[in-house]
Structure 1
Amino acid sequence: MLLTYSGHRALDDRARHGLLVCIRELIDTYHGGSVTKRYLHELISATRARN
């Protein structure tokens, strides 16, 4: 998923690899090997008053 973000895609190969290695180490060390990313979707509905 991280490789889909434009900022990460714009990095040169060496920098991108270093970033991903650091992130992997943080996830393994502090989060038990996985991270869940959640998205919130909100739908707001309204009706117009008739004049």
Structure 2
Amino acid sequence: MTRFLCRNCKFKFSPKIQRNEPPKICGNCGGVNTIEKEPDANDILKEVDNMRDI
């Protein structure tokens, strides 16, 4: 499950993902385009693998 983190208010949420969707809107403060994807375990493992290659 992809989780997003609002840069404005640090509210974490899991929006319904759809193709060609409009910008993410924070469910807490209503900010648009303020979302950072929260790293999940797979992202962290990929970064570690990339570091090993160097």
| TM-score, length basis structure 1 | 0.29
Instruction: Indicate the structure (1 or 2) with the bigger Cα radius of gyration.
Output: 1
Q: Which has the higher contact order (CA 8 A, sep 6+)?
A: 2
User: Which structure is higher in strand share?
Assistant: 2
TM-score, normalisation: structure 2: 0.28
Q: Which has the higher helix share?
A: 1
